[in-house]
Structure 1
C-alpha cells in the first residue's frame, strides 16, 4: 500500500532537499556574490544528477553556475534513462551511509512519494530550477593553459556550438565533467584508467560493463506477486527463481533463474536477475536487460542499442507473464528516452581508488564522501554474468579522486570518478558520488575567491570538512571503516586489485 505523506510534510522534505540543510527549518547561509554573473564561477559539462548536486550546492553558497549539456534533454541516467531503482549504500550491519541532499531524495523515495518517472522529473526540475542549462551543445575548443602558480595545467575557456548553431565561448574558475561519456576529460590529454577488460579479458583491447534499457510495465498485481513468492519456502524460492530471491512491498532482488531461462534474440542482449521497483498503481520498473558493445559517445551506437532494447523488452514481457505470479496481465508502459550507461572510459585523477582501499575501509585526509556498496561488476558480451568481488564495510572517497591528474581547476563528477576497474564496481553507485559532488560544490565556494580548491593544504581542507559538518550535518571525517582484508598477503591484495581474486 502506498504510504501517504501530507502536503505540509512533503513540502518540508522537499525544502530540505533543495537547501541541503540538516533540517528544513534551518536558515541557509547568506549568499555571497562572486564575480560577474555573465562569467560563471563554475561550468558543469553534462546534467547527470550527481553534478547537479554540485551545481546546486555551489549556487546556494553564492557561486554563479551554468550547465552545458551535450545531451538533447537534461537529466541523464535518472531522468532520461529512468534508472529509478535507487541503490542505497550501507555499512556492514545494514546501517545507511546516506547523507546530504541525496539522503532527502531517498527518504521521500522510500516513503513512496517519489516513485514514478514524472515525480522524479519534478524533483529534478526543482533541484535545477535556478541553474541555467543549455542542452544539445557541442564542445568545439578547449583552451588549456599552464598555471604559473602551481605548474599544473588549467582550462582557461571553452568554446561550444549551441543547438541552434551559434558559437559561444565561456570562461570560468572551475570546470566539471558530469557526463556519462567523458565529454570533457577525454579531450584533456589524460591517460585512460584501464577498464573492465583487465578483469574480464576478451577479444577487445578495451571494454566496458554492459549498459541497460530500463523496462517499464503496468497492470502488475504486486500484492499477488509478493504473497505468492512469500508462500514459498527458501528452498522452493531458490529452486524455482534463484538464490536470494526476495519480494518486499517496494523492491525485488534475485530471480537469476528467471533471467537464465530467457533466450535472448542476439548476443548483444542478455537478461540477468530482476531488480524490480514497485512504482505503485500497478506500475513496475525493472533493471535487468543488459546491452553490450555500446559507445555512449556515438549517437548511432546508442540509437541502435535503444532499438534492440525495445524489441527485446517485448520478448521479455511474454517471458515474465509466464514466469511470475501477478504478472499474467502485465503490459508495456512505454520506454525511456535514453539508456542507463553503467560504465565508460575514465581518465586518471590525482588519486585512483583501488579495490583494496574499499575493502580495508581506508579513509583519507581529503575525504569528500563516506561510501559503501558491494563491489558489483556487471558483465561484458564475453562474460555475460559479471561477478561480485567483495563487500566493503565503508570507505572514504578523497577529493583527489575527483581532480584530473595535473589539472588545477578541473573536477569530475559521478561516473567519471578516478577508480580502478575493480573499485568502480562500488564507487560508481550514485549516492556515493552524489555526496562527493555536493561536498565539492560547497568547498568550491568556501575556498574563497583568491585560490583554487585543489591548492588548499590539508589543514584548510579539514577546516572546510568541519564547517560542512557543522552547517549541513555532512560528516566525512572522524569515521572508521572495518578492514576486511587485514589477513591477506601483499600478493593476494595485488591479485584482488587486478580483479583476479574474489573475497567471501
Structure 2
C-alpha cells in the first residue's frame, strides 16, 4: 500500500487494539476495557470466539489431568462458564485421552456469551475486518491497517495485543518467529457434528474398540482414514455427538494456497469419517451430518521469539517462574504427520508456570501477544496451546496493556507484582 492511498484512509484512535476475537483476544479485550482504557477488538468473522466457536466445542486446560483434577484457570474464564451454565449450554466430561476434564458447550450460545461480556465491559467490536499491514517508528507500531467492507481503516493504538493465533501483527512488525519454514507444525483438523445419534448405544463403544474398528476398516479396504484414532464425544444437545478425527498434514497455515487446499481436504476427510461411523459403529446408523467447522482447525503456525521462550524441559519439569501469569498442567499433545498422536505427561497433579515474558515479543515496543502464537518451542507449544491457557494469557495481556497506558510506559516495563496482584484480585489462579 502506498502512502498516498494510506493518507486518505478513515482513521481511528484507541488505547488498546486487540487483533483477533478468539479466546485469547476476547478475554484480553474484556480485561483491558474493565481496567478503564478504550479498547478496540478486531475480528475477521462476524462473531467472536475463534477456535472456540469456529472449530471446537470444548475448553481444555481448566483442570490438571489425573485421578485428582485441580482447577488451574480462573477469573474472566469463570464468568464465561457461569454464563454458559445460565443457558444450560455446558457440561464437564473426561477427556478421551486423559488430558483432564473438558468443559463442553454449545458453540452458538458461546458466541452470544463472548459478545455479551465484551459489550458489557465497553469493548468496541469491529467484525469483518482483517489486519493487513502495520507502520512502525523506531521499533514501535504506530498504525495498523484494516481491510473492511467499508474500505481500508487506519487505527492508531497506544498498545497492540496480537491475538491473531498466527502472530500476523508481530510478523508484519518484524518480530522474529518460527513457523513451518523452520520445521514441521502440527496437523490441521476439520471437525464435524452428528445429529440423531443413539448416544446410549454409541457410548458403549470404547475408545480402544473404536480405534480397532478403524484399523479393521482400513485393512479391509474401502475407507480412506488418515488418522487411525481420533475422538467423538457427547455434547449438551441431546442426540448430538462432536468429533475430532480428521488430520491434514504437512501444511503451512500461513500459506494461503496450502491453507485453501487444506480446507477442501479437511471436508473430504470429514465426509469419509462420517461414512465410517454410520456404516461401522453402532448408534450411528441413523445419524446425519449436522455441520462442519467454520474453518479448518489450526493448532500451530507462527511462534514468536519473546523475552523468554517456554521449552519442553520447562513443561515436563513443571518449572515455576517469578513472572508467572498463568499455569498449565496439560500434557504435550503433538498431532504430528503420522497416524497417531504423541502424548507426554507432567508428573501427577503438577503444573508449570507461563511467564509474562513469553507474551513480550523481541524488537517491538508496545506489542503483546496472547494465545497460541506465544514464545514457546514446538513441544512446549503442544501443551500450552489449550484454550484455557489462551484465555489466561489474554486476561494477563489485557491487564498489562491497561497498566502500561495508565503509567505511560511500555508492556515490557509493567510491574510484575502489580500485574500478579491484579490477576489474583479478579480470580486468576497463579499458584
Instruction: Tell me which interval the TM-score lies in, with the shorter structure as reference length.
Output: 0.7 to 0.9
Larger Rg: 1
Task: Using the TM superposition, give the Cα deviation of residue 161 of structure 1 relative to its aligned residue in structure 2, in angstroms.
Answer: 2.9
Contact 1:269–1:292 (CA under 8 A) maintained in structure 2 = no
Task: Classify 1:349/1:126 alpha carbon distance in 2 versus 1 (closer, same or farther; 3 Å).
Answer: same
Among 50, 69, 73, the alignment partner of 1:98 is: 73
Q: Identify the residue that residue 249 of structure 2 maps to in structure 1.
A: 292
2:215 maps to which of 251, 260, 275: 260
Cα deviation digits, residues 201-260 of structure 1 (max 9, x gap): xxx86321111111110011112333x34xxxxxxx5xxx52xx7xxxxxxxxx433443
Q: Does 2:423 correspond to 1:468?
A: yes
C-alpha deviation, 1:326, in angstroms: 1.9
2-side partners of 1:271 and 1:84: how far apart? 22
Q: Does 1:311 align with 2:288?
A: no
Q: Equivalents in 2 of 1:268, 1:275: separation in Å?
A: 15
Q: Provide the residue aligned with 2:390 in structure 1.
A: 433
For the pair 1:187 / 2:165, whether they are aligned, the reply is: no
- C-alpha distance in 2, partners of 1:100/1:323? 44
- Mark the CA change 1:262 to 1:170 in structure 2 (over 3 Å): closer, same or farther: farther
Deviation of the 1:390 alpha carbon: 3.0
Q: Say which of 171, 184, 194 aligns to 1:217.
A: 194
Please state how far the C-alpha of 1:354 moved relative to its aligned partner: 0.6
**Aligned: 1:88 with 2:68:** no
The question of 1:122 aligning with 2:112 is answered yes
Q: Please state whether the residue corresponding to 1:404 is helix, strand or coil.
A: coil
Q: Answer with 99-108 or 434-443: which moved more.
A: 99-108
Residues 1:454 and 2:412 are matched in the alignment: yes
1:354 equivalenced with 2:280 (yes/no): no
Classify the secondary structure of the residue corresponding to 1:388.
Answer: strand
SS of residue in 2 equivalent to 1:54: helix
What are the superposed Cα offsets for residues 394-441 of structure 1, whole Å, 9 maximum, x if unpaired? Answer: 011011101111222111111111110110111111101211211221
Matched with 2:136 is 144
Closer, same or farther: CA 268–259 of 1 in aligned 2, 3 Å: closer
What residue number does 1:390 align with?
Answer: 345
Quote how far apart the aligned CAs of 1:467 are: 3.4
Count, aligned residues: 397
Distance 1:96 1:407, change over 3 A: same
Q: Cα 1:140–1:282, aligned 2, differ >3 Å: closer, same or farther?
A: closer
Partner residue of 1:76? 50
TM-score between the two structures when normalised by the length of structure 1:
0.72
Equivalent-residue separation in structure 2 for 1:391 and 1:272 (angstroms): 23
Name structure 1 gaps, 5 residues minimum: 1-36, 147-152, 196-203, 230-236, 246-254, 480-504
Contact residue 266 and residue 296 of structure 2 kept, 8 A: no
1:439 to 1:409, Cα distance in 2 relative to 1, 3 A: same
Which is richer in strand? 2
Evaluate the alpha carbon distance shift between residue 444 and residue 189 of structure 1 in structure 2; reply closer, same or farther with a 3 A threshold.
closer
Instruction: Indicate the structure whose relative CO is greater, using CA pairs within 8 Å and at least 6 residues apart.
Output: 2
Distance 1:297 1:467, change over 3 A: closer
Correspondences of 1:218-297 after superposition (within 5 Å): 218-226=195-203, 228-229=204-205, 241-242=207-208, 255-261=210-216, 263=218, 269-297=226-254
Q: Quote how far apart the aligned CAs of 1:57 are.
A: 0.8
Find 1:366's aligned residue among 315, 318, 323: 323
Q: What TM-score, normalized to structure 2? A: 0.83
Determine if contact 1:372/1:394 at 8 Å carries over to the other structure: yes
Question: In the superposition, relative to structure 1, how do residues 80 and 71 fare at CA in structure 2: closer, same or farther (>3 Å)?
Answer: same
Question: Partner residue of 1:206?
Answer: 183
User: Does the Cα contact within 8 Å between 2:191 and 2:244 map onto a contact in 1?
Assistant: yes
CA 1:104–1:433 in structure 2 vs 1: closer, same or farther (change >3 Å)?
same
Distance in 2 separating the partners of 1:262 and 1:352: 43
CA contact (8 A) 1:45 1:70 kept: no
Retained in 1: the 8 A contact 2:12–2:156? no
